[in-house]
């Protein structure tokens, strides 16, 4: 730590010490690094900080944008019984929109909004749009957001009471899509953490989930970027490619020990010529063995497990390599993205039989093993 500069919220020019005394503590929600510039999304503020010179002991912002909730939204928020400290604008989405602008969403006193901002001046460009299904209402709720191919992929809750969890696609030229509403097969509870990365043609998102047994398990979900939704009868305006699977980060032994809480995930990195994600896992906070663990999960096995032979137990296996799978309704394999040259060139041409199968089978039977079937690094007695 002593070698690195810190950011405590001050600007380039020094003001009198009186000025600092009234300053609020930072409440940093998001950070985004673009080359040698860092954007920091705070509560009611957005900062642009240069990472040069690297030798200074304190980083200072070049630009600060104050973006508060408007008084009307604050009064409605208070009327609905929220605390004053929650009825503010927490920056929960901070993304590069194009080479000159950022896409930013804030909770805006439980009425989320999004807008474009200049990367250079941090000034808003154009009007704001609703942040519903793009940004959480409550600053405490987990969310993820990713821009790719001009489309915005978000995972968050869509309502004040945080009942409806979605993975949502919007903006761009393709139709708006969401996950099935109020279906416990798709989402049982709110994810408590999430990351999104995109891989070749598909983005996918890990999120730890509660299973039926109220045991935390680490799951990843994936959707095809080119999904066009289903038919008018089944999965209209909903994902036809949503799939989730458990990540298996465990220590083999007589009593197999699972690390079930994902703490953090990297982007896809190459390791020994193989695309993998590295994830830090831990046990639930109340377990007696506190040990963060690093597992390596082979990326290619996340969307596609298998091939499963006839002895494969109950449900089904995934994957694009063609192999016969008994219980599938037809030649289409769940997990494959429809594409020109495939049997179905668009998800909107899937027969209802396939759509119904996808709707009722969002969870993969097999979990995703880590490389070497064991953690890479384990640290005990530390959080
Ligand atoms: C969003 O835009 C509307 C209309 O321009 C404006 O009234 C409102 O204050 C804006 N909200 C925020 C949080 O900037
Ligand atoms: C942001 O900019 C894009 C073009 O880059 C535009 O399509 C969009 O309407 C703008 N506003 C919002 C709120 O996204
Ligand atoms: C980037 O997006 C902004 C709006 O956010 C738009 O005004 C601008 O024209 C875009 N620039 C390019 C190069 O697409
Ligand atoms: C651990 O925490 C979970 C969730 O908070 C709870 O359901 C469970 O009963 C707790 N277990 C113990 C042994 O305290
Ligand atoms: C998809 O296939 C249909 C015929 O089955 C064809 O009419 C359509 O042009 C194809 N679309 C694309 C994008 O290839
Ligand atoms: C997790 O991986 C281990 C080691 O490969 C295996 O023995 C165990 O059955 C797997 N557990 C699940 C739930 O897939």
Give the pLDDT of residue 103: 97
> What is the CA(107)–ligand 2 centre distance, in A?
18
10 Å CB burial of residue 86 (0-12, 13-18, 19+) is middle
Q: Is 163 in the pocket of ligand 3 (CB under 6 A)?
A: no
| Tokens of residue 243, six digits | 């799939």
> What is the CA(113)–ligand 1 centre distance, in A?
8
Angle at 346 between CA 340 and CA 348, to 5 degrees: 165
> What is the CA(286)–ligand 6 centre distance, in A?
23
Report CA-CA distances (Å) from 179 to 19, 93, 158, 166, 195: 48, 20, 11, 5, 17
Q: Is 99 in the pocket of ligand 2 (CB under 6 A)?
A: no
SS (H, E, C) the chain: CCCCCEEEEEECCCCCHHHHHCCCCCCCCEEEEECCEEEEECECEEEEEECCCCCCCEEEEEEEEECCCCHHHHHHHHHCCCCCCCCCCEEEEEEEEECCEEEEEECCCCCCEEEEEECCCCCEEEEEEECCCCCCCCCCCCCEEEEECCEEEEEEECCCCCCCEEEEEECCCCCCEECCCCCCCCCCCCCCCCCCEEECCEEEEEEEEECCCCCEEEEEEECCCCCCCCCCCCCCCECCCCEEEEEECEECCCCCEECCEEEEECCCEEECCEEEEEEEEECCCCCCCCCCEEEEEEHHHCCCCCCCCCCCCCCCCCCCCCCCCCCCCCCCCCCCCCCCCCCCCCHHHCCHHHHHHHHHCCECCCCEECHHHCCCEECCCCC
Q: Give the position, in ligand 2's atom list, of the atom nearest the Cα of 127.
A: 13
pLDDT in tens, 52-88: 876 677 888 999 999 999 999 999 999 999 999 999 9
Query: Measured between alpha carbons, how far is 142 from 376 in angstroms, rounded to an integer?
Result: 27
> What is the CA(133)–ligand 3 centre distance, in A?
23
Give the pLDDT of residue 311: 28
> What is the CA(369)–ligand 6 centre distance, in A?
7
pLDDT in tens, 228-285: 999 999 999 999 988 887 888 888 877 778 887 777 778 778 888 877 888 888 776 6
Query: Measured between alpha carbons, how far is 149 from 200 in angstroms, rounded to an integer?
Result: 11
Residues with CB under 6 A from ligand 5: 340, 345
Give the pLDDT of residue 301: 46
Q: Give the position, in ligand 4's atom list, of the atom nearest the Cα of 214.
A: 7
Q: 197 Cβ partners below 8 Å, 6+ apart?
A: 146, 203, 204, 205, 265, 267, 268, 277
Nearest residue (CA) to ligand 4, atom 12? 286
Nearest residue (CA) to ligand 3, atom 14? 98
Q: Is 270 in the pocket of ligand 1 (CB under 6 A)?
A: no
Q: Is 214 in the pocket of ligand 4 (CB under 6 A)?
A: yes
Query: Measured between alpha carbons, how far is 277 from 103 in angstroms, rounded to an integer?
Result: 26
Our mutation pick for probing the ligand 5 site, out of 332, 345, 348, 350, counting the most ligand atoms within 8 A of Cβ, is 345
Q: Is 127 in the pocket of ligand 1 (CB under 6 A)?
A: yes
Q: Is 115 in the pocket of ligand 2 (CB under 6 A)?
A: yes
> What is the CA(115)–ligand 3 centre distance, in A?
12
CA atoms within 13 A on the CB side of 36: 6
Nearest residue (CA) to ligand 6, atom 11? 248
Give the pLDDT of residue 79: 96
Our mutation pick for probing the ligand 3 site, out of 100, 117, 152, counting the most ligand atoms within 8 A of Cβ, is 100
Burial of 175-206, coded b for 16+ CB within 10 Å and e otherwise, reads eebbbbeeeeebbeebbebbbbbbbeebbbbb
Q: Give the position, in ligand 6's atom list, of the atom nearest the Cα of 373.
A: 5
- Specify the CATH class of 69-378 in words: mainly beta
For the chain, report the end-to-end CA distance as a whole number of angstroms.
18
pLDDT tens track, the chain, 383 positions: 456 788 888 887 655 444 444 467 899 999 999 999 999 999 999 999 998 876 677 888 999 999 999 999 999 999 999 999 999 999 999 999 999 999 999 999 999 999 999 999 999 999 999 999 999 999 988 888 988 888 999 888 888 888 888 889 999 888 999 988 877 777 766 666 666 666 554 444 444 333 223 345 677 777 888 889 999 999 999 999 888 878 888 888 777 788 877 777 787 788 888 778 888 887 766 555 555 677 776 655 443 333 332 223 223 333 333 333 334 445 566 667 777 777 788 888 888 988 888 888 888 777 888 888 888 888 776 65
Give the pLDDT of residue 199: 57
> What is the CA(131)–ligand 1 centre distance, in A?
12
Q: 265 Cβ partners below 8 Å, 6+ apart?
A: 195, 197, 206, 277, 278, 279, 280
Distance of CA 112 to the CA centre of its chain: 17
| Tokens of residue 224, six digits | 């095809």
Backbone angles phi, psi at 88, to 5 degrees: -130, -175
Q: 267 Cβ partners below 8 Å, 6+ apart?
A: 197, 277
Nearest residue (CA) to ligand 4, atom 13? 286
> What is the CA(248)–ligand 6 centre distance, in A?
6
> What is the CA(316)–ligand 5 centre distance, in A?
29
């Amino acid at each position: 730590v002593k070698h690195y500069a810190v950011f405590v919220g001050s600007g380039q020019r020094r003001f009198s010490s009186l000025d600092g005394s009234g300053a609020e503590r930072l409440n940093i929600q998001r950070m985004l690094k673009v080359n040698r510039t860092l954007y920091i999304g705070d509560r009611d503020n957005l900062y642009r900080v240069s990472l040069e010179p690297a030798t200074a002991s304190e980083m200072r912002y070049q630009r600060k944008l104050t973006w508060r909730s408007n008084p009307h939204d604050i009064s409605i928020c208070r009327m609905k019984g929220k605390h004053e400290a929650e009825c503010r604008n927490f920056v929960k989405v901070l993304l590069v929109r194009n080479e000159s602008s950022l896409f930013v969403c804030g909770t805006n006193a439980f009425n989320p909004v999004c807008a474009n901002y200049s990367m250079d001046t941090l000034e808003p460009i154009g009007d704001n749009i609703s942040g519903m299904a793009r940004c959480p209402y409550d600053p405490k709720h987990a969310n993820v957001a990713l821009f790719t191919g001009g489309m915005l992929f978000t995972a968050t809750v869509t309502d004040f009471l945080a009942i409806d969890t979605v993975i949502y696609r919007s903006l761009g030229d393709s139709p708006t899509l969401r996950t099935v509403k109020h279906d416990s097969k798709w989402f049982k509870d709110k994810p408590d953490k999430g990351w999104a990365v995109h891989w070749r043609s598909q983005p996918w998102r890990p999120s730890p989930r509660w299973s039926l047994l109220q045991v935390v398990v680490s799951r990843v979900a994936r959707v095809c970027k080119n999904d066009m939704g289903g038919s008018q009868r089944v999965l209209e305006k909903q994902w036809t490619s949503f799939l989730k699977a458990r990540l298996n980060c465990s220590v083999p032994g007589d009593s197999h020990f699972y690390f079930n809480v994902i703490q953090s995930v990297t982007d896809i990195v190459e390791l020994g010529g193989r695309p993998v994600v590295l994830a830090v896992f831990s046990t639930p906070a109340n377990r007696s063995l506190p040990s963060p663990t690093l597992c390596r999960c082979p990326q290619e096995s996340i969307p596609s497990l298998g091939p499963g032979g006839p002895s494969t137990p109950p449900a089904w296996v995934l994957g694009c390599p063609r192999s016969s799978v008994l219980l599938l309704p037809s030649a289409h394999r769940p997990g494959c993205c429809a594409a020109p040259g495939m049997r179905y060139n668009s998800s909107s041409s899937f027969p209802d039989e396939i759509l119904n199968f996808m709707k009722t089978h969002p969870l993969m039977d097999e979990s995703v093993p880590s490389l070497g079937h064991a953690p890479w690094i384990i640290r005990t007695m530390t959080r």
